[in-house]
Structure 1
Amino acid sequence: MYLRKSQILGYVLALTPQASHAYPGTKPKCSLDNVAHQLSSINSSLSNNATILSVTRVQLNGSYGDPNSPQGLPPLVSTGLPDLCAVEVNVTSSESSSYTISIFLPSKWNSRFLATGGGGTGGYVNYLDMGVGSQYGFATMSTDNGHRGSPYDVEWAYKSPQKLIDWGWRAMHGSVELSKQLIKGYYGENIQYSYYTGCSTGGRQGLKEAQVGADSFDGMLIGAPAWWISHQVAWNTKISKDYYPVDDPKSISNELFSSIIAQTVVDQCDAIDGVKDGIISDPENCHPDFEVLSCNSTAANSSACLTSLQLETLAKIYEDYYIGSEFVHPGLELSSEPGWPQYLFAGTPTSWGIDYIRYIVFEDLNWPLDEYNSSVYERLKNLEISHEIDADQFDMSPYRDHGGKILMYHGLSDPLIVTRGSSHFYEQVELATGEAYPITDWFRLFFVPGMLHCSDSPPGVDAPWHINGAGQNWQTGSGAYSVPGFQDSKHDALLALMEWVEGGKAVDQIIATAWHDSTDPSSGVWKQRPICPHPKTAKYNGVGDVNKALNWDCA
């Protein structure tokens, strides 16, 4: 049964707010009537435009979610849940748009709120990360951002500016605000602390929300944020033009990226951290010589070498993108090569770049890649909608002054969202917020050597990567949460963030974990290593097992 607030007011009898977790033996009532009453008690434009879609009691070890998730995603069904109440609400955001909010309200509540983000352009509720958060006792929330679609789908945005605003910030902002109000009413007490976790677009969503609403969160765990969409689309399209078509002499066979090119980087960059183990910890201080791959070299293997045109293409992939003296976007990081065939050079230009320009910038579905030039970048940058989407308000002092903390991480081997984009963001925030308040007092950035986009590590590298970042427990089994076997603030970045926010203990390192089978923690720990706050990196101390974290230091 669907109820709008106008219907609720005449439908619901006055209900006494239910007791919270602080009173053992009583539980808030998971019913349509109770949630409808809480919604009717909220006096805001959000609640006036809200429709309750469902209220569902989920018993201990139960499941909840969306088994028919959009293409490219696993079934978004969270399993092994604690006893909780699942609430679905739809909010009309304009005459042509609306977004859905899902909220998990655990019976054993920890008096805290956790919002979760999504990925790509995806329109879906992130039930999996919601389920992870509920295991701690958080009341958790996710939004579909105003549409339904896969992480690489852009069609929904065609001639739909209101849906783009929802995706850019409005859905998250409204979802946070309304969720907090419903949670307070449901439990009958105030939320003590509010947190956020998200990676990729989820990282952008969190940063954007902190720029829109400085008091939305007390702490944010931000992974590989796609914060600079207009510039990222320009860069992505530019390197696609540099590389495609695949039958052009300048194009490089994608098998070579993950083989000889990746191996050349390892050969010349691996030992900088003090040990040769295939994991590159400090790519910024490595400057490999790719001329060793030249087909003109006397030592070159004619079946595994690069022509002068191909070497020029490779250089363009790594180099920062400038138009004149204007910095547009950083280039890909050394050690990201194994992921290029999957994300960037899989045979056709990525939809993330070219389709974004076709559907959103020009609204011309036949716009050809060959027409990309600096004027397209200027148009992208100056689009009104770009200001609704980019999280580029670097003066985040209102969030800082509210007491907010940011723990941001990024895989050094990320082949999709360029790693140096995070260091650029961090540096710009530091400049914009001034020297009077050291940025490390409230914002710390961690690079994860060998980690791909948000999680995992290439075969053969197998670097430690699990720190309980957003989406990481999608891979580690039904009902997994925290870092399986290491549920403490030394290994779990969310717990480390909470300790910083609530206890004042700054995060000086986080121990990342890898198992023998990366998706099965029961296979046993294989490697652990500290990740360090930028600009520090982990260095092997020369004594003991290189796969044990205690033998590494942040230096």
Structure 2
Amino acid sequence: MKRLLALLCTVVAVSALTAPAQAENNTSASDSPQRACSSLTAPRLPGARVTSVTTDIRPAGDVAASSQSPVVRSVPAVCDVTVVLTHPGADDHVTTRVWLPLDTWNGRFQGVGGGGFSASGGESGLAAAVKGGYSAAITDAGVSTDGSTPSAWALDSQGRVNTPLLENFAGRSLHEMAVTGKHLTAAFYDRRTFSSYWNGCSTGGRQGLMMAQRHPQDFDGIAAAAPAANWDRFIPAEIWPQVVMNQAHDFLSPCELNAFTQAAINACDRNDGVADGVVDEPDRCRFNPRALIGERVVCDGTTHRISKADAEAVASIWAGPTTPTGLRLWYGLNKSTPLTYLAATALTPDGARVGAPFPISENWIKYFLERDPAFDTSALTYADFEDLFRQSQREYNKIIGTDDPDLSAFKAAGGKMITWHGLSDELITADGTVDYRKRVERAMGGAQRVDSFYRVFLAPGVGHCAGGNGPVPTDPLAALVDWVEHGEAPETLPASTTTPDSTVITRDLCPYPLHARYSGHGPTASADSYTCRR
């Protein structure tokens, strides 16, 4: 789970269109970086008041690892700007950080997104962007950087939802970060125009979609991977596996859960004509978990027999959330997806196995739906779950749903957007991304028109933002830059992975709804042996 939380909280992003006109600095980095840095001022931000601006020259070197991200080495020297602002009446303090490379700028601005309940990817996100030549910005949105819990900010002193801070987190602070970052970039380099990109995954992916929907002129290009869109639905849906196990009084061990996943992969691996441990189209996998009833599984030296209750629980988890009468509410996990995150269990000191809810989903319910940090989600019935699911939609869709299919303003502004999503994502099912893409097509005149500015690529076997058994996109941001700056729409996204025996597997991910099909000849580990077909 720590790996997934780290991925949720590690995101990089990029943004810039035409820079704001009021670049008040009269000294550019080409003249004197130190003087240009110290004389930078913040832009005017409607609805906000800037309380402080500090600048400093940060020398070249390594950026230390955090609990969220690894160390980033050999980061160039930057002008480090911190802008603090507040929104009158909100009692908030929002910090935006902007790093401006002193002599390695590539002429582009990059916004850096967050993960989980954190709006920011931290200094490591800035460092990765700057190392790539970008000027870069992050915002904390005035909330905690703890991606797993909103306990420090979700409720006010009266126990009510802190709506201004939720609005900051949902999108308001992202726009202010973009305006601030581009203003400072324009002033520091004495450039009026430059390219801008967003590059984020998970919450960072949702942030990218939010910008396309509500602030369509902030970014030229948006790379929104595994987006946490449909937030009001998929976040409560993540507790569904726990509800299923609690209601059945049947808590499967990680070993037993993995047995079901592996059995599904074994049964459906060859559906695409290649035996590679990857299910290319998990929605066409017809494996029935009841086929394992009676099978023995050895876990930590102890033999377990798969029961009917075990199989029924997994079937319900795969099917996804429903009402007590069987009406689907949201999508379930794909059969090739590890179940050990959302269906996690743990042993109590006395040896009993109990559910271990994914903290982001559990805390959404505790703080934003029940408004009670002590609420016990293990007591939820199926009827309770439906009530909470409906409440989440009703109260939060307009604030943070991030599911508006009307991208006409983004298209009119010349924006381009790429989304890729792993089909074995442990946390955010790719079905939500496909659902959104289909709604965009219906709203905007069909697939061909949408492909002209927004493309989706599905990655078989890939987990949340990375990992898994399948090839992971190698540089989707580069593909986005080519599309924005050279008009070269990506026909495929190059992807690769290395197996435990050091075999390098390459694949070209195809734009939805196409799939990479084996040609019948050539090495199955090579992208050259596949073509994009339905």
Report the Cα offset of residue 452 of structure 1.
1.0
Whole-Å separation in 2 of the counterparts to 1:539 and 1:437: 21
Alignment correspondent of 1:229? 231
Say how many residue pairs are matched: 484
Alignment correspondent of 1:465? 472
| Residues 1:204 and 1:432: Cα distance change in structure 2 (over 3 Å) | same
Alignment correspondent of 2:151? 155
Moved more, 104-113 or 528-537: 104-113
Whole-Å separation in 1 of the counterparts to 2:527 and 2:178: 37
Deviations 1:253-281 (A, max 9, x none): 221122x2122112211112221011111
Higher relative contact order (CA 8 A, sep 6+): 2
Contact 2:105/2:135 (CA < 8 Å) preserved in 1?
A: yes
Report the Cα offset of residue 305 of structure 1.
4.3
Counterpart AA for 2:128: V
Counterpart AA for 2:312: E
Report the Cα offset of residue 78 of structure 1.
3.4
Q: Alpha carbon RMSD of aligned pairs, Å?
A: 2.6
Query: Pairwise mapping of residues 430-469 of structure 1 onto structure 2 (< 5 A)?
Result: 430-435=441-446, 438-457=449-468, 461=469, 463-467=470-474
Moved more, 343-352 or 420-429: 343-352
Alignment correspondent of 1:23? none
* SS in structure 2 of the partner of residue 438 of structure 1: helix
Alignment correspondent of 1:330? 331
Moved more, 427-436 or 311-320: 427-436
* SS in structure 2 of the partner of residue 329 of structure 1: coil
The answer as to 2:272 corresponding to 1:264 is no
Query: Pairwise mapping of residues 332-371 of structure 1 onto structure 2 (< 5 A)?
Result: 332-337=333-338, 340-347=339-346, 348-369=356-377, 370-371=379-380
Report the Cα offset of residue 35 of structure 1.
4.2
Whole-Å separation in 2 of the counterparts to 1:437 and 1:535: 12
Alignment correspondent of 2:386? 374
Report the Cα offset of residue 344 of structure 1.
3.8
Whole-Å separation in 2 of the counterparts to 1:171 and 1:415: 28
Counterpart AA for 2:488: K
Contact 2:318/2:335 (CA < 8 Å) preserved in 1?
A: yes
Query: Pairwise mapping of residues 197-208 of structure 1 onto structure 2 (< 5 A)?
Result: 197-208=199-210
Counterpart AA for 2:225: G
| Residues 1:176 and 1:206: Cα distance change in structure 2 (over 3 Å) | same
Report the Cα offset of residue 464 of structure 1.
2.1
Alignment correspondent of 1:120? 116
Contact 2:49/2:87 (CA < 8 Å) preserved in 1?
A: no
Whole-Å separation in 2 of the counterparts to 1:358 and 1:313: 24
Counterpart AA for 1:360: F
Counterpart AA for 2:151: E
Alignment correspondent of 2:91? 96
Whole-Å separation in 2 of the counterparts to 1:525 and 1:91: 50
Alignment correspondent of 2:416? 405
Alignment correspondent of 1:488? none
Alignment correspondent of 1:313? 313
Structure 2 unpaired stretches of 5+: 1-23, 157-161, 347-355
* SS in structure 2 of the partner of residue 271 of structure 1: helix
Whole-Å separation in 1 of the counterparts to 2:465 and 2:25: 44
Report the Cα offset of residue 306 of structure 1.
2.9
User: Quick one: which of 473, 477, 480 aligns to 1:494?
Assistant: 477
The answer as to 2:426 corresponding to 1:425 is no
| Residues 1:234 and 1:499: Cα distance change in structure 2 (over 3 Å) | same
Whole-Å separation in 2 of the counterparts to 1:514 and 1:263: 19
Contact 2:209/2:402 (CA < 8 Å) preserved in 1?
A: yes
Counterpart AA for 2:214: V
Whole-Å separation in 2 of the counterparts to 1:114 and 1:316: 42
TM-score (norm 2): 0.84
| Residues 1:525 and 1:97: Cα distance change in structure 2 (over 3 Å) | farther
Whole-Å separation in 2 of the counterparts to 1:374 and 1:104: 45
User: Quick one: which of 30, 34, 41 aligns to 1:30?
Assistant: 34
Deviations 1:51-70 (A, max 9, x none): 224422323xx1346x6x4x
Report the Cα offset of residue 367 of structure 1.
2.3
Alignment correspondent of 1:530? 508
Alignment correspondent of 1:194? 196
Alignment correspondent of 1:16? 26
Structure 1 unpaired stretches of 5+: 1-13, 20-25, 468-491, 518-522
Whole-Å separation in 2 of the counterparts to 1:437 and 1:394: 15
Alignment correspondent of 1:56? 57
Alignment correspondent of 1:478? none
Report the Cα offset of residue 317 of structure 1.
0.9
Report the Cα offset of residue 45 of structure 1.
3.9
Alignment correspondent of 2:243? 241
* SS in structure 1 of the partner of residue 136 of structure 2: strand
Alignment correspondent of 1:489? none
